[in-house]
């Protein structure tokens, strides 16, 4: 029996998934905002991974082209920074466009 204030098993699973995705984004230097919906965060992680795959296929190195790199090999291989006030959904759309640009330029 569920008590008031306790999460259901489904809610716990969703909370764990959000925590996992948030951690994966954080390791890449991508901030997660309180208002970000879990579904949008999942799409954002997919977009980040697509960008990273596009850079790798184009011959980019994820270490030398990281967000904190002082001298990236190629600026187009650096993950675009999330703008203040930019929703997770809008950022993921922008990342997909950047991934496409990396692929086209190669």
- Any residues with CB less than 8 A from the CB of 87 and at least 6 apart, and which? 36, 40
Whether 60 is covered by a domain: the verdict is yes
pLDDT digits (tens, 9 = 90+) for 42-86: 999 999 999 999 999 998 877 777 777 777 778 889 999 999 999
Q: Are 39 and 87 in contact (CB under 8 A)?
A: no
Helix axes 9-27, 38-57, angle to 10 degrees: 40
95 exposed, middle or buried (CB, 10 Å; 0-12, 13-18, 19+)? buried
Expressed as residue numbers, the domain containing 89 is 9-105
Whether 26 is covered by a domain: the verdict is yes
Distance CA 48, CA 98 (A): 10
Which pTM does this prediction carry? 0.85
pLDDT digits (tens, 9 = 90+) for 6-46: 889 999 999 999 999 999 999 999 999 999 999 999 999 99
Structure tokens given for 14: 């969703």
Whether 18 is covered by a domain: the verdict is yes
């Amino acid at each position: 029996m569920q008590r008031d204030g306790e999460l259901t098993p489904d809610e716990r699973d969703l909370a764990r998934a959000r925590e996992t995705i948030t951690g994966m984004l954080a390791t890449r230097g991508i901030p997660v905002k309180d208002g970000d919906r879990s579904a949008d965060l999942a799409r954002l992680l997919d977009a980040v991974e697509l960008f990273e795959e596009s850079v790798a296929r184009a011959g980019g190195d994820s270490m030398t082209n990281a967000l904190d790199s002082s001298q990236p090999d190629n600026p187009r291989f650096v993950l675009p920074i999330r703008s203040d006030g930019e929703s997770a959904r809008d950022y993921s759309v922008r990342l997909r466009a950047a991934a496409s640009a990396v692929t086209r330029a190669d």
